[in-house]
Structure formats: C-alpha cells, structure tokens
Chain A
Amino acid sequence: MKKKLIKFYPLIPVFTVYILLFFIGKNVPGMWQLVAMLLFYCALGQAFNIFLGMTGYVDFGYVAFMGVGTYGMALAITRLASIEELGIGIIVAGFALALLMSTLLSLAVGAVALRLRGAYFAIATIGVNEGLRFLIEGARIWNGSEGLIFVSDINNILGRDTADALMTFWADVMVLVIAALAAVVTLYYMRSKIGYALTALREDEDAAKVMGINVTKYKIIAFITSSCFAGLIGAASWALKTPYVFPPEVFEIQYTIEAIIIVLLGGAGTLLGPVAGGLIYGISKYYLAVYVPGFQLLIFAPIIIVIITLFPEGILGMLKNRFQNTGLAHFII
C-alpha cells in the first residue's frame, strides 16, 4: 500500500506550487497578472515536455496546436452563440472542439512527420506551423487574416459579469487545471510502459526497435497527448482570456521557442522540471520587462545560456543528483 502511494509523491511538489501560486494571486493585490502568466508558462512547459522531454524530438511547430485549440474555442463560441440555452455549456463545447481539432491535426502531422528522424522532423514541423497559418490567411478559412472576434458573443451568452469573471479569473484557473492534468498524465506515462518505451526510444531509437518497441506508435501517443494539451491551453489562455483570434498571433513561433526554453531550463523528461522552468522563465521575463524594458532579451539570453551550460540536465537534473539517496528523492522526478 505504501509502495503504491510513493508512486504519487512526485505530484506533491507540483501541486504545492500550483496551489501556492493560486493563493498568492488571489490574496496579494496586484499579483494575479503575474500568477496567470506563470501558470501559463508552467502549463506550456508541462504540456510540451510530454513530447519534447519524453521523446527527445523537437517540434518547432508546437504553437500550431495552441493556435488550432484557440480556433476550436473561437469557432464553438461564434457558431453556437445563437443557442441561448447552452449557457456555460458553450465553453465545454469549445474545449471539446479544441481537443478534437488538435487531435486531428496531430494525427495528420504525426503520421507523416514522425517517420522522419530528429532534425528532419524538426524542419518538417516548422513548415506545418507556417503552412497552416498561410492556408488560413490565403484560403480565407475561418475569416482568414481578419480573424474571429467574439467578445460580444461571450457577453451575450454568459452575461457581462460572468463573462468578465471568465476572462479575468476563471480562464486562468482553467489553465491551472490543465497544467495539473498534464502533470498527472506525465506521471502516469512515466510509470507505465509508455514511459519506458519513450525513454528507450529517446536514448537509442534503433536499439529500442530491436527490443520490441513500436517506436512510431509511442512517439505518436506522446505527440497527440502533448498536442491536445497545447490545444486546451490555447482554448483557455488565448481564446477565453482575450476573446479574439488572429492567425499571426496564434501561430507566433516565439511561443514554441519559449516552450523549448522552459523544458530545457527545468529539465527535459522530468515531472517537476517544466514547473521550475516555467517559474524561472516567467518571473525573469516579467521583472525584466518591468525594470529594464526594451533590454529584456539582451539580459535574458545570457542568463538562459549560463543556466543551461551550468546544468545541462536542467534544474531538476541538478536537484536529482543532489538529493539522490535522500528521502527527498521520492518527490523529485
């Protein structure tokens, strides 16, 4: 029984961070904006880690799934706005559509691109992101480059007060829930055959095959899972917080880069790493923008390079080594 419980210990530090963040944001005046940003980066890191961290493959088109998720929510709200009885159910429908669209896209991309190795995969995925954006703009899909604006729809369906609360508070809480869910799924994968297969293929894909691992299948599992979480984050953090969607914004490659930095900073393939990475990245970005506006990147880039050089396995890799063979080892993975 105790052994069973020990398996879940690593979730304790993760959830502690999220709960602390929530209470700080809720109770310290003026902090919610920072907390929301941190939750977003933690969620992003946690979601991307399931693919990047666990498989070692770099998806430069990751933001496309956030974009598609944002569109999912936006489409559900704009198309179903006339059905008044739906009420808050429209948000549920939005998440369902976001999930469906990111699943379909990841299936399509994964089935083709995941047959490519390492660098070729990375290059192919850049194409996916840009291609999708130009397709939407060029073929005028979903209102093309004019995007979708649905503030008034949300206000109409939910009423002003609820809509305000949703945009300024509940959307961020949803991001928190998504981050927590991603952590649970990550731990579940790590403890199941999926995690072992992913570790094996990340370390040596050919040896993994010879040992009976259907590497394509497991890569696709990780890819779809990770992409679905990206879709949910897009739907919650982008569509609901700021109820409009423009292609250049939701297919902005900067977010993919940020996700990569967070995962590497914190420790790829670990559970707690993306949380640590998200916090460090978010806090530095926020305060650098406040104190040295305009020079953030100039200071930020060297900081990241130094950290990644000092701790090649991320913050978590360092912590794991330090607390190896101590009671804390059960919590840090």
Chain B
Amino acid sequence: MPLLKLENVTKRFGGLIAVNRVNLEIKAGQFIGIVGPNGSGKTTLFNIVNGVFFPEEGKVIFEDQNITILPPYKRAPLGIARTFQIPRPFCGATVRENIAVGAMFGTHGRYVNVDESLEIADNTIKRVGLRKHRDKPAGILTPVEKKLMEIARALAMKPKLLLMDEAMAGMHPNDIDRMVDFIKKIATEEKIAIVAMVEHIMRALLGMAEKIIVLHHGAKLVDAPTKEALEDPKVVEVYLGKNTKK
C-alpha cells in the first residue's frame, strides 16, 4: 500500500492548468525529489496534498483513505505535514510555542497535553539547533532560522509524510550546505516519507532521493529513479540555460 497516491489530479486557476493529470505514488519512508522550473505547479501540488486546494479532477489517497476533499485540519492528524515556500511562522508566538503547536495538533495531538507538547518542542529545538532562540518571537528570526523552525514545527507533528517546499530557496551557499546536511540527517533518522521540492536540480539534495519527479507546465514529465531522471535528456531540455550543476 502506498502512503500517498495521486490519481489523475488536475487543478485549474481560471484558464490556467496549474496541475495537469498528475499520477504519483509515494511509499512510507521514501525520500522523493520533485523538480520543476518556476510556475511548473510544485506548490500547487503540495496545496492539493495538504488540502489548501481541492482538485477539479482526480483523487488524493492517503493510506487507502480518499482525502480528496478532506479539509486541511483533518489531514494533519493523519500524518501530513508541510513547510512553506515563504516561511509562515506564527510571528508573535515564541519559537518554542510555534513548535509546540505542531506537537499539539499533529499526528499524536490528541494524546499529548500542553506540557508534553512543550517538552517535545524543547527536544526538537535542540535537534535543529535553535536553542538560543527558544524564547524569541518567531517573527524576528532570520529567513534561514525561520525555515529551520518550520521544519522543526513540522517534525514535532510526528508526520508520516513531510512536504518541504523549496527548503533552500534564496539561501546563502553556506546555509544551503547546513540545510542539506540537516535534511539528510532527518531523512535517515526519522522514518518518514519526505518530498522535497526544488526549483533547480540540486544534486546535493536530490542525490539522497530514491526517485525524482520532474514537473513541467503542471504535467509530470519524468518519474524515474534518481540517476536515470537526472540524465534524462528531457530534463536537460527543461533546464536548458539553467543552473544544472549543483
């Protein structure tokens, strides 16, 4: 049984087809990379998986349950977590409170109380290395710290599936390395499926992936094991003139 299955999913915005008949399967614990240039529909695909948008056509199936039109707040407890392309911390709340919210309403939310959630938050904060920012309002963090905090918040939800939207967009190369290391670490330590979306082909990150899906104009162009996908001529074509090195 796949963890997540998309069947012929289509999402339109007016005349624009943002996601076009996409089929997709993700197994538990798998690390998957989704690549595609600007506007190729990556974020929209995430929004469909976690319920921000409902697709006009097709089905979203999570652990054999049809969740196509389930509201987002009911999906999180099933084990679906995400980070945002542009971080969306709860700015006025502290880093600790932000992450505790994840624990409180995530997969085990029903079984943990506030104190336990704060404890989970403290542990998660240590893991992502935000200890000195614990009691600061999340709004004053740097962009990189905000990304880390979002990942921590998502991890505190104890998800089965973690969707990471452009975890490294707009980052300084040093920070990118730090982030890649961190994602590698959680990918090996946690038994969760991770779907990482990136605009460019980043070998550092995608090297970890079992398979890569390439989106182009909303449609799936390639869906193949990592090595094959990266060498696919169609992929090179899509990125022609783009940074395909690192």
Contacts and interface: CB of A to CB of B under 8 A. Distances in A.
B20 to A, nearest CB: 24
B153 interface: yes
Nearest to A206: B52
B169 interface: no
Nearest to B87: A207
Q: Report the interface size class on chain A.
A: 20 to 34
B104 interface: yes
Given A196-B114, A199-B97, A209 B92 contact: no
Contacts of B93: 199-200, 203
A212 B77 contact: yes
Nearest to A324: B135
B143 interface: no
Given A199-B90, A200-B90, A209 B73 contact: yes
Interface in B39-83: 50-52, 71-77, 81-82
B52 A197 contact: no
Given A192-B114, A199-B92, A213 B52 contact: no
A207 B113 CA distance: 21
A211 B97 contact: no
Contact of A210 (B52, B89, B92): B52
Given A206-B52, A209-B71, A212-B106, A200 B101 contact: yes
A204 B92 CA distance: 10
Contacts of A140: none
Given A199-B90, A200-B93, A203-B91, A212 B114 contact: no
A193 B108 CA distance: 14
Interface string B110-141: 00011001000000000000000000000000
Contacts of B157: 211-212
A214 interface: yes
Interface in A162-217: 191-193, 196-197, 199-200, 202-204, 206-215
Interface residues of B, number: 32
Contacts, number: 77
B92 A203 contact: yes
A197 B76 CA distance: 14
Contacts of A203: 89-93
A16 B55 CA distance: 56
A210 B72 contact: yes
A319 to B, nearest CB: 16
Contact of A211 (B92, B106, B117): B106
Nearest to A201: B90
Contacts of B75: 212
Contacts of A200: 90, 93, 101
B82 A191 contact: no
B92 A212 contact: no
A207 B105 contact: no
A196 B100 contact: yes
B105 A213 contact: yes
B84 A207 contact: yes
A189 B52 CA distance: 28
B97 A196 contact: yes
A192 B91 CA distance: 19
A212 B88 contact: no
28 contacts: A192-B114, A193-B105, A196-B100, A196-B114, A197-B104, A197-B105, A199-B90, A199-B97, A200-B90, A202-B92, A203-B89, A203-B91, A203-B92, A204-B89, A206-B52, A207-B88, A209-B52, A209-B71, A209-B73, A210-B51, A210-B73, A211-B73, A211-B81, A211-B106, A211-B157, A212-B76, A212-B109, A212-B157
Interface of A: 191-193, 196-197, 199-200, 202-204, 206-215, 269
Given A196-B100, A196-B104, A204-B90, 20 more contacts: A192-B114, A196-B117, A197-B101, A199-B101, A200-B90, A203-B91, A203-B92, A203-B93, A204-B89, A204-B91, A209-B51, A209-B73, A210-B50, A210-B72, A210-B73, A210-B82, A211-B76, A211-B106, A211-B153, A213-B76
